[in-house]
Amino acid sequence: MSTTTTRGVAQPAPAKVSKDRPRRGLRAGSTFNFWLFTGPFLIGLIVFVFVPIGWSIYLSFFEARFTVTPSDFVGFENYTQVLTDVDFLNSLVTFTVFAAFIVPTTWAFSLGLALLVNRLRFMRAFFRSVFFLPTAVSYVAASLIWKMSIFNGVRFGLANTVLSWFGIDNIAWLAVPDPPWYWLVIVTLRLWLQSGFYMILFIAALQNIPRELYEAAAIDGAKPGWQTFRFITLPQLRATSTAVILLLLVAAYQAFDEFFNLLGKATWGQPPLVELYKMALGENQNYGAGSAGAVVLTMLICVVTLLQGKIMGFGRGEESK
C-alpha cells in the first residue's frame, strides 16, 4: 500500500525533470498507473469469469460426472443429451411463457405507477416509497410470503380466505400443474417485487420530458389524457421503454429464486436455470451436461440480447432523426 502510494506521488517528478522529452515519461507513468488501477479487476475478471467459461466449454465435451478434471472425451454427446432432454426443452417453453406474461405486465404496471405518482402533489414521496419498498425484499422472502400466506393452498391462506367469502372452494395454487394457477402466483410475486424499481426509471424519464411539448399540444387542441399520453408521453419514453424491456427480458431469463422456492421439487414449470441447477448440482452432479446446458443458454441469451438491441436500437435511431 505505502509503496504504491509513494510511487504514485513520485510519478510526475520525472516528467518535470526531463523537459526535452516529457511525453515518454508521462506515457510510461500512465501505463504503470493504468495497470495499477485496472490490474486487480482484470485479473479477477480473467480468473473468475473467463477461465470458468473456458473450462466449462472444455468440460462440455467430456464425460464429467462427480469430477471437474475428466479424461473421457465424448464430442458433442453432452450437447445432444441436453438438446433432446425433455425437461430442458420444457424449461425453454416455460421461460417463453413466463417472459410473455411478465415483460408486458411489468412494463405496463410500472409505467402506470409512474404516471400516477408523477401526478401527485401531496404525499408523492410517501407513495413512491410504498411502491418502491418491495425492491428491498428478496425473492426468497417474497416466495415465503406468497407460498405460506397469500397463496397457501389450505383454508387459511389469504387468497383462499377471500375466495371463501364469495363461497368459492379452496384452490391448490402451487400443488398441481393443471389448471396452471401457479402462473398467477409467480407473476404476481415478480410484479410486486420489480414494479417499484422500473417505476423509478419511468418517473425519472417522465420528468425529463419538456413541459413545452404538452403546452404546445394543448394549444393545438390535444385533449389531456389519452391523446397527449399516446402522442407525447409514450414516444418520449421510447428509450426508457426499450431499456426496461431489455432489462426485464434478461431478468426473466435468469429467473431462479422464486421458481426454486415456490415449486420446489415439481417436475413441471421449471425455468432453464433450475434445470441447469438440477443437472449440474443435483443427484447426478453431471458437470459435462450442465456445462453444455450453460453454453447453450449463454448463446441463446446473447442472440436474444443482440437481436433485441438491434431491432429496438434501429427503431430508436429513426426516432431521433
- Smallest distance, Å, CB 180 to other proteins? 21
Please list, residue by residue across 94-109, b when 16 or more beta carbons sit within 10 angstroms of its beta carbon and e when fewer do: bbeebbebbbebbbeb
Residue number, 16 or 321, with CB nearest to other proteins = 16
Nearest distance from residue 177's CB to other proteins, in Å? 19
Q: Compare residues 104 and 224 and give the one whose CB is closer to other proteins.
A: 224
- Shortest distance, position 90 Cβ to other proteins, whole Å: 18
Cβ-contact 254, 244 below 8 angstroms: no
For residue 143, count other CB atoms closer than 10 A to its CB. 22
Computed on alpha carbons and rounded to an integer, the radius of gyration of the chain in Å comes to: 27
When the beta carbons of 98 and 192 are compared against other proteins, the nearer one is 192
SS3 27: helix
> Between 181 and 260, whose beta carbon lies closer to other proteins?
260
Contact 233, 311 (CB under 8 A): no
**b (16+ CB within 10 A) / e for 62-77:** bbbeeeeebeeebeeb
Nearer to other proteins, 186 or 203 (CB): 203
CB of 201 to other proteins, least distance (A): 5
3-state secondary structure of 63: strand
* CA pair distance 244, 314, nearest whole angstrom: 16
C-beta of 231: minimal distance to other proteins in Å? 15
